[in-house]
Amino acid sequence: MPNIHIPKPWEISGREVTPESVFMNRRHFLKGLTVAGLSIAGAPILGCAQNSDSAAPPTDAPKFDGLKRNPDFAQVNRPLTDEAVAAKYNNFYEFGGTKSIWKKAQALPTENWKVEVTGLVRNPRTYDMDDIKKKFPLEERIYRFRCVEAWAMVVPWTGFPMKLLIDDVEPTAEAKFVRFTSFYDPKITKGPTFSFSRLPWPYTEGLRIDEMANELAFFAVGIYGHALPKQHGAPIRQVMPWKYGFKGAKSIVKIEFIDHQPATFWNTLQPKEYLFEANVNPQKPHPRWSQATERMLGSGERLPTLLYNGYAEYVAQLYG
Ligand SMILES: Nc1nc2c(c(=O)[nH]1)N[C@H]1C(S)=C(S)[C@@H](COP(=O)(O)O)O[C@H]1N2
Ligand SMILES: [Mo]
């Protein structure tokens, strides 16, 4: 719904604001902190107007051949989000602090991509994208996706369960956590205009090993049947459907198996707002807004948020 702005209770005013003015108005949230960027991550105010540019974003990526949809993840009782909507409404702070970074993200260099897997594993490996596609059978899964900012979408991802990579590298008994690191090169990933130099780049995320081994935890190399467009985190990203979207690092270059809980990007900036665990939970409000409902991208429909984003039967036992 281009340019239609429905004010939310947590908003400063009914108009669109820039990241800088959010920061100026929300200074009190930053008390005791020297970092400006963090009030932006969760500020749903930035997400309220959709990109009014209606042309479909370019993708020259061919469709995956013979891709099979996993029948266990074939639908979620919600309509699929329109591809062009999902492709033009992104969080990718390496390319800016707004939702409309898709053009800037085209600067991401994805040729000869390598993913280094190291740390507490029997078989450390560096994969290129051909190795990954040869080694791990790709499937399609339709997942709900919930950003901590209370917007949501439903998209078909192409990829493979993280468990297959675990089996390939064989973590040792000492490995308890895993850290994912995104591509970072300050000449290319220039970041938001505000306080860039103080953000804890590179973007990192982390999981417990048992979370990573859960059948839902997914590496995506594609979306809507073709390779990931750069703005979605090409050529490979995490997708963690029962957690808030920030738990899924984009454009992964390194995966490390470690014995301690890693520091992560948003949790380092604002530990009270962006928890390490970050499971979707309608009962646990974000300190600055309710998480009880969510706004679907495209339709703007407001729907109730589901515990574990609707995936309790798969993951509730991890948190007993
Ligand atoms: N490297 C990196 N990964 C990231 C982010 C980011 O800024 N940088 N944003 C996260 C957040 S907050 C969300 S909601 C999702 C958005 O994914 P999408 O743009 O493909 O919808 O990416 C996550 N992964
Ligand atoms: Mo997010």
- Domain layout of the chain by residue ranges: 27-47+90-318
Rounded-to-integer distance, Cα 290 and Cα 283, Å: 8
Give the pLDDT confidence score for residue 57 in this predicted structure: 64
Q: Which of 246, 253, 268, 280 to mutate to test the pocket of ligand 1 (most atoms within 8 A of CB)?
A: 246
Ligand closest to the CA atom of residue 251: 1
Superfamily of domain 27-47+90-318 in CATH is Oxidoreductase, molybdopterin-binding domain (3.90.420.10)
- Residues with a CB atom less than 6 Å from ligand 1: 90-94, 147, 182, 203, 232-233, 245-246, 248-251
Q: Is the dihedral of CA 208, 209, 215, 217 positive or negative?
A: positive
Ligand closest to the CA atom of residue 269: 1
**Phi then psi for 289, rounded to 5 degrees?**
-165, 160
Coil/strand/helix, residue 296 = strand
pTM of the model: 0.86
| CA 16–ligand 2 middle distance (angstroms) | 18
- Yes or no: say if 192 and 173 are a contact pair by the CB < 8 Å rule: no
Residue of the CA atom closest to atom 24 of ligand 1: 249
Q: Which of 91, 254, 270 to mutate to test the pocket of ligand 1 (most atoms within 8 A of CB)?
A: 91
Give the pLDDT confidence score for residue 122 in this predicted structure: 98
Query: 206: which 2 tokens?
Result: 């982390």
Looking at 52-56, 75-79, 208-212, 286-290, which range is the least confident one?
52-56
Q: What is the mean pLDDT of the chain?
A: 86
Instruction: Kindly indicate the confidence band of residue 296, based on its pLDDT and cuts at 50, 70 and 90.
Output: very high
Digit-coded pLDDT (tens) for 41-89: 444 333 333 444 545 566 778 899 999 999 999 999 999 999 999 999 9
Give the pLDDT confidence score for residue 88 in this predicted structure: 96
